Amino acid sequence: MHEEAGGGTGDSARGPPRPQAWPSHSWFHGKITREQAERLLCPPETGLFLVRESTNYPGDYTLCVSCDGKVEHYRIMYHASKLSIDEEVYFENLMQLVEHYTSDADGLCTRLIKPKLMEGTVAAQDEFFRSGWALNMKDLKLLQTIGKGEFGDVMLGDYRGNKVAVKCIKNDATAQAFLAEASVMTQLRHSNLVQLLGVIVEEKGGLYIVTEYMAKGSLVDYLRSRGRSVLGGDCLLKFSLDVCEAMEYLEGNNFVHRDLAARNVLVSEDNVAKVSDFGLTKEASSTQDTGKLPVKWTAPEALREKKFSTKSDVWSFGILLWEIYSFGRVPYPRIPLKDVVPRVEKGYKMDAPDGCPAAVYEVMKNCWHLDAATRPSFLQLREQLEHIKTHELHL
């Protein structure tokens, strides 16, 4: 189980797998030596940990954990696209592995309690304070759970008399990864993006990301619950334009959302649609793990070659338009999930939803060009939708 034990898995020579942009997980320290790791974990504190690339076994990783005054080094083997320390429990990525051993030692000398942060993460926490984004926990009341995410609850809160939404990340290791999300949100401000209000970093390691409260919930639920009898064509077009304007702003700032879908758009009390969930937002043209991607919303080149760009967001926007005009139906109805990608790559496009204006369906189809370069920009999409709004909606 320790790094010194055991031979290679046979897969190691290919070099370290890169299923995700690890440096955003601040416990990942890259290519440092065993001695450097031991220096970083000094003074010893049981449960303090970091992950580095293995020096003895190129292509594998090493989990370094401080325990009872000394540092233990556990080799993380990479085999058949999975990661494991004991060859009994396997993980899709380092994040999952760290999550697991944070909640349970499961054979390690101790459970993982506190990540040894890369310099940049400590700086990120300080930066929130310096730049005025740090809020005071004393001013925040948590009222009730309004949603559950993979890494924590979303709660309705009261911050100095205003309703807010609060993403609560209690787990220390996970909280560090979400600092990246919050720092992205501090750079972005648009009336159709869910606005970050601030961040609370607890000394114990918990993190609260506080955003404006969107009273009417997700767009997909809003569409499904109200339906055709309530929502007219002008309302659907307004939601489409709201989202398009947010995406045009991201495009102009060279940001890629990567998970654009009606479930990640929220609706305010006064019926404004705002794009949310910047967990995956990265600077344009980067790559990520495709293991958990939402197949029906993701562009073929992003699934096939991990090529994420504004143009892959445009593809997803076309799917989102289809969701809006079908009042929240799941895309590619009646096609088994495993058949979606092969059919799409052969040029299959969904039919127009019932009652969808022909001009809007043309916009959708333009988003679904297999050649990403021929898809329109969000600027062009906004112009097309505005043209439909002025010229064609009331014909």
Q: Is 395 exposed, middle or buried (0-12, 13-18, 19+ CB in 10 A)?
A: exposed
- For tokens 């562009």, the residue is 299
Predicted confidence (pLDDT) at residue 15 exceeds the cutoff of 50: no
Higher pLDDT, 222 or 306: 222
Beta bridge partners of 323: none
* Mean pLDDT to the nearest integer, 40-63: 88
**Residue 284: pLDDT above 90?**
no
Annotated binding site: 167
**Cβ contacts of 194 within 8 Å, gap of 6 or more:** 211, 212, 214, 266, 274, 275, 276
Task: Using only the alpha carbons of the chain, give its radius of gyration.
Answer: 23
Three-state SS string over 105-121 comes to: CCCCCCCCCEECCCHHH
Q: Over the stretch 286-308, which tens digit does the pLDDT of each residue have?
A: 344 445 678 999 999 999 988 88
Q: Give residue 223's pLDDT.
A: 97
Which residue, among 130, 132, 101, has the nearest Cα to 115 in the 3D structure?
Answer: 101
Cis peptide bond N-terminal to 43, omega within 30:
yes
State residue 44's pLDDT score: 87
The reported pTM is: 0.69
In this predicted structure, the answer to whether residue 356 has a pLDDT above a threshold of 90 is yes
| pLDDT band per the 50, 70, 90 thresholds, residue 285 | very low
pLDDT given for residue 66 in this prediction:
96
Banded model confidence at residue 395, pLDDT cuts 50, 70, 90: very low
Q: Which of these ranges, 176-185, 199-208, 287-296, 311-320, has the smallest mean pLDDT?
A: 287-296
Average pLDDT, the chain: 84
- Spell out the domains of the chain, with CATH numbers in brackets: 24-115 (3.30.505.10), 121-212 (3.30.200.20), 218-391 (1.10.510.10)
Q: pLDDT (tens digit, 9 = 90+) per residue, 59-88?
A: 778 999 999 999 999 999 877 778 899 989
C-alpha span between 317 and 280 (Å, rounded): 16
pLDDT for the residue numbered 288: 43
97-155 residue pLDDT tens = 998 999 999 999 999 999 887 765 555 666 677 778 889 889 999 999 998 766 678 99
Is 281 a residue whose pLDDT tops 80?
Answer: no
CA-CA distance, 96 to 11, in Å (whole number)? 20
**Active-site amino acid positions:** 259
| Cα(286)–Cα(309) distance, integer angstroms | 8
Q: Is the pLDDT of residue 353 over 90?
A: yes
- Binding-site positions for ATP read 167
